[in-house]
Structure 1
Amino acid sequence: MKNSPTNFRYGCVVIIGKPNVGKSTLLNNLLARKVAIVSDKPETTRHRILGILTGEDFQIAFIDTPGIHKPFYLLGEQMVKTAKSSADNADLILFVMDATDAITNEDLNIIDFLKKIKKPSILLINKIDLVKKSKLLPIMEEASKLSDFKEIFPLSALNKREVNMLLGVIKPFIPDGEMLYPKETVTDRGIEFLIPELIREKTLEFTREELPHSIGVMVEEFREKEDTGIFYIRAIIFVERVSQRAIVIGRKGSMLKEIGKSARKEIEAFLGKRVFLELYVKVLINWRKDLRAIKMLGYAE
């Protein structure tokens, strides 16, 4: 993009790690804005999500990726493929580990992947607010022996001060370059992407441990009514079994009502307008094994 200030830096930073280590929380707090849904369920992120942070003399394109894991379904294979391919154009990799876990085989597999692609990487040990310092130091020492990380940075992705300190660590690795995106751009994902993701987030939140990986969401209709200015949204929540449909709907529709109420409030906050949200639940048997279904729901890129 022309007319960038002199001595400007632009770079791409890819966030990778196994599922549920806090990658999306980190992205949201780096941007000070929600662009990725968050859940305590593994494998919540299914897409490559771009978040753009612009300062006076820099612009960083952060890419949040699905957790890298051993996939058991075609959906998982697509997610891992997305995560690994996202690293191709990275100037820097942020590899996130969970301080509450020992170093796992999944972590070791990611380290092997990082060695193969030969990109500079910073190891982030997240969730340090949940462990004693006496446990953290051995993890850092062990991790330092596994690869040639440029930095090892312990933090809580929920702590704004620590996230801002991390930004100071990242900046020296960003190369000189022109601004690629307009200053006001925060993500390449529009509201049409965020709406089904927000509905999925609330479905995960309310159904808890019942069916996190079996949920897919597709928006069938999204329009603004000219006479009222209210946005009308009709969306389908897909599950894989009839028993799962019953869980999402709940007794006399109570669960679906709560999901819709919570999702509607968050969508209204994004749009800044009133929303009428209509939700349906349908069974799409074994959709995670069906490439056509995965593509229909937008989970294959």
Structure 2
Amino acid sequence: MDADYLPFHPNPSKPTFVPPAGAVDAHCHVFGPADTFPYAPQRKYTPCDAPKEKLFELRDFLGFERNVIVQATCHGNDNRALIDALRAAGDKARGVASVAPDIGMDELRTMNDAGVRGVRFNFVKRLVDATPKEVFLSIAEKIEQLGWHIVVYFEAQDLEELIPFLKQLPTTIVVDHMGRPDVTKGADHPDFQRFIALLENNENMWVKATCPERLTVQGPDYSDVVPFGRKLVEKFPDRVIWGTDWPHPNMKSHMPDDGKLVDFIPRIAPTPDQQKALLVDNPMRLYWS
């Protein structure tokens, strides 16, 4: 583990908010264990081990029924830890993989059988090296045949240059972490409004109202992030999902209490109908239908 890398919270609090029956943590990860599933040589960071057993234990403790496990960059295109977790979870988990451009349809179908339903394209420059857009488009053509979607991860300052590419993608697109807005500018700033307009004008685009711990400047209790999440939940009630981001990779300022992250949910989705859409209806439609 990197010297400045924080391990996940060892003793999260029990949330006061009780998720609705069938709730899905739609963005989380598994790491290693490294002696079984080594980290990628080209990784930009080395996390602590966060195996599937710990994830499933947290799922049950927080009151969730299912997980969507997303491949993180520290494992590169080696999805063995992800596939192992999906097979262990059975119908309680789905996955989002990271794949190489030369992947074949037989391998993709095997991953589909294990529960993978999407691929992730990462454009965060501090985490990955640049990849030609043509490579991503060739992958998109393959996964479209399986009905998978594409998860895209970028930072707000890079959105404008990415918009033409995003409009080329032939599948449903899910944007990570609210599009990583600069919360110091406020939810009415043109930067966040550009993201809102993109979602309004492209009905194939979804968003994850996740990671207040990454977006905050204020720190816990993440009040500076609430207006962003609430606006997304209000404007796109049938295209927004939520997840913990456990075990919170590459966090260096503070390590969030996952119970407190669950208690953040009613602050952005105040009504029972919004909560059910965010945590049950939308992720079930996207990953289990």
Give yes or no for TM over 0.5.
Answer: no
- TM-score, normalisation: structure 1: 0.33
Going by fraction, where is strand more abundant, 1 or 2? 1
- TM-score, normalisation: structure 2: 0.34
Q: Which structure exhibits the higher relative contact order, with contacts defined as CA atoms closer than 8 Å and separated by 6 or more residues?
A: 2
- Whichever of the two has the greater Rg, that structure is 1
